[in-house]
Structure 1
Amino acid sequence: MLFAYRSTGAGLSRVITENPSLAEPTLAFDLPADAVWVDLYRPLSGQVAAVGGLGIHVPTLSEMEEIEISSRLYHEDGADYLTVVLPGRDPDGHVIAGPVTFVLQPSRLITVRHHLPRAFETYPLRAGQGPAGCATPDRIFLGLMAEIVGSLADSLEEAGRVLDEAGRRVFSGHAANRPDLLQKTLEEVGLQGERLSRVRTATTTLDRALNHFAAARDGQGLKALVKAELRDLAALAVHADFLAARVGLAVDATLGMIHLAQNATVRIVSVVAVLFLPPTLVASAYGMNFATMPGLDRGWGYPAVLGLMLASALGTYLFFKWKHWL
């Protein structure tokens, strides 16, 4: 898919273009000359060719996934290529962390992505409301960066709320005797750990991209905006690290509660087994098939043995209580 936007001064307006259909993926077309932002989402070959006509090399997904910094931040043919890793949803709706490439020309911003970060859906609706504005490609880039930072902050707040609820559930004792609830809590906390790792990866790559942008655009009056976004990213990184520590605490606490519940069950079973051990010993002694055994020909023999078994069990129970093992 291809989305093209022009700047109206107060915001962004989507340009009506003919996108190649899935039935004709190689259909060529011309981009509007006044399109200041071109957003490529899982581009087809015809869309890649249209952007290539502007002198832009549209990187493939494998090129975007290169780990080396030199492959993610570079200048080529008058354009800056900045690739970051952002959380978003794939076409199947699963949350992933995928690469997004920003290509900055003097007159145009091109973005290439293969998943759906939320900021790309919300930013066009409020592009002119931020301090950066949307008059130039550089300002659209900074505005989009600010929207991404805001989206990451929302994700951290949501993770914090889930961890708060998990902490209340574990430490209040409501889940102490509910293994299913403890397992659910452990799964929820683990998912938040995955979310935090995606956010932390995003903040690291965004910090590098913004520093590269600041060095390439030195002297264009954007330093204050870049510094503000770098400070926001630093704050997000600290918050993400704090929440990661909370995830570790929540996992340890949940596992501790699970172990305590298991220990309580094992202790009860052990005590029951020990209580029945002396009566079993008495019953085993009187169950032996010797020809001569005391009490076999007495009328009080059977109740006496039953009383002895009961007394041995009671004595064991009182001993355990005296030792505070129960």
Structure 2
Amino acid sequence: MTVLHPSEKLTRLPDDIVWLDLIDPTRVEDSYMEQLLQISIPTRDDLKDIEPSSRLYIEQDSVYMTASLVWKADSKQPELTDVAFILTGNRLVTVRYADPRSFSLFIAALGRVPTDVRNGKTLLSHLLETIADRTAEILEMTIARIDRLSSDIFRDRDRRRPPKFLEGKLADIAENHRLIGKVRDSLGSLSRVLTFLQNTPMLHTDEDAEKLCKTVARDVATLSEHAGFVAGNISFLLDASLGLINVEQNAIIKIFSIASVVFLPPTLVASIYGMNFRAMPELEWSFGYPMALLAMVVSAIVPFFFFRWKGWL
């Protein structure tokens, strides 16, 4: 792989350079590559344009495609980064302002592509295949996380768990939901790129690249369906967690409600004998005080055992 620097003021690219990977290029570097390749290089602002006509188009026999790829999938803040793929002549030009792992994986496996078939169309097909494989890996990683979350939430429910245990799991569910949302957006973007690429006359001149693009398109469609299934599981897990939180909160409220009912009869007895009426015979009894205490205890015990008998406790 050849690395070009702005200081190397070439007037013509060697024929054996079939892939130019522009990573976070400056405006000076963009201008230099435009003069070298005689094409326009999209800027960072151009890549952010969401209009289909600005992301997929043909200009001066060069095919321009922009896809959104998942970046920082292993972190708590996954992002989407826009990457431009340009087929011009026999070369592939990629413009990116981030470093998705799929590119490093593709570079590491670049030796598997035979030298005699290396051209822009073939490299783009293999690169898109690597991106799809990396997306599948992210989906598998997310599924494993969801399985662990499901086990933590539903397993050992009878054991005492720390307060706000489920509230903490909601944050983990939200992280995975965010990641799956990014993956689905990326797969939708890749699907549009592959559909556009398969309809370009340039691809039809390379049978191997065309077949590989069709295979990758089927893989992306399958991954999109699978991502939708995973998103449904995450939604179920979120609803189940919120339901369990409501159950725990209702159990606490039930305890307070039963406690208030249990202590209501003793409070009534104490209120009656706290009155200041003169004609209350019990006030003159020598055993009136212990009788009042006994009445309060009995009036508290009877509702308690009644609730136990009904299964409310």
Query: TM-score, normalization: structure 2?
Result: 0.90
Amino acid at match of 1:45: R
Shift in alpha-carbon separation, 1:145–1:134, aligned structure 2, 3 A: farther
Pick from 159, 163, 169 the counterpart of residue 152 of structure 2.
Answer: 169
TM-fit CA distance, 1:115: 2.1
Per-residue CA shift, 1:14-33, capped at 9, x if unaligned?
x24335xxxxxxx7844853
* Pair 1:180 & 2:164 matched: yes
What residue in structure 1 maps to residue 20 of structure 2? 38
- Which consecutive residues of structure 2, in runs of 5 or more, have no partner in the other structure? none
Give the Cα separation in 2 of the matches to 1:73 and 1:253: 41
* Pair 1:69 & 2:58 matched: no
Task: Please give the secondary structure, in 1, of the residue aligned with 2:283.
Answer: coil
TM-fit CA distance, 1:260: 1.2
Mapping of residues 138-157 of structure 1, within 5 Å: 138-157=121-140
Amino acid at match of 2:172: E
Give the Cα separation in 2 of the matches to 1:141 and 1:292: 102
Deviates more, 1:143-152 or 1:179-188: 179-188
Amino acid at match of 2:255: I
Mapping of residues 85-100 of structure 1, within 5 Å: 85-89=68-72, 94-100=77-83
Give the Cα separation in 1 of the matches to 2:311 and 2:265: 20
What residue in structure 2 maps to residue 190 of structure 1? 174
What residue in structure 1 maps to residue 101 of structure 2? 118
Give the Cα separation in 1 of the matches to 2:76 and 2:28: 26
TM-fit CA distance, 1:96: 0.7
Give the Cα separation in 2 of the matches to 1:229 and 1:41: 25
Give the Cα separation in 2 of the matches to 1:164 and 1:56: 48
Pick from 32, 57, 66 the counterpart of residue 83 of structure 1.
Answer: 66
What residue in structure 2 maps to residue 4 of structure 1? none
Q: Give the share of equivalent positions with the same residue, in percent.
A: 33
What residue in structure 1 maps to residue 198 of structure 2? 214
* Pair 1:59 & 2:46 matched: no
Deviates more, 1:308-317 or 1:63-72: 63-72
Amino acid at match of 1:196: I
TM-fit CA distance, 1:134: 6.5
TM-fit CA distance, 1:154: 0.6
* Pair 1:240 & 2:227 matched: yes
The answer to whether the 8 Å contact 1:156/1:240 transfers is: yes
Give the Cα separation in 2 of the matches to 1:314 and 1:206: 69
Shift in alpha-carbon separation, 1:134–1:118, aligned structure 2, 3 A: farther
TM-fit CA distance, 1:59: 1.3
What residue in structure 2 maps to residue 10 of structure 1? none
The answer to whether the 8 Å contact 1:86/1:97 transfers is: yes
What residue in structure 2 maps to residue 307 of structure 1? 294
The answer to whether the 8 Å contact 1:88/1:116 transfers is: yes
Deviates more, 1:134-143 or 1:173-182: 173-182
Pick from 238, 254, 264 the counterpart of residue 241 of structure 2.
Answer: 254
TM-fit CA distance, 1:119: 0.7
> What is the CA RMSD across the aligned residues, in angstroms?
2.4
Give the Cα separation in 2 of the matches to 1:166 and 1:141: 37
The answer to whether the 8 Å contact 1:28/1:50 transfers is: no
TM-fit CA distance, 1:143: 1.1
What residue in structure 2 maps to residue 24 of structure 1? none
- Which consecutive residues of structure 1, in runs of 5 or more, have no partner in the other structure? 1-12, 20-26
Give the Cα separation in 2 of the matches to 1:179 and 1:40: 51
Give the Cα separation in 1 of the matches to 2:173 and 2:115: 36
The answer to whether the 8 Å contact 1:64/1:100 transfers is: yes
Which structure: greater helix fraction?
A: 2
Deviates more, 1:59-68 or 1:271-280: 59-68
Shift in alpha-carbon separation, 1:17–1:67, aligned structure 2, 3 A: closer
Per-residue CA shift, 1:106-141, capped at 9, x if unaligned?
222111122221111221111132699961111111
Aligned residues between the structures: 305
Shift in alpha-carbon separation, 1:215–1:133, aligned structure 2, 3 A: farther
TM-fit CA distance, 1:230: 0.9
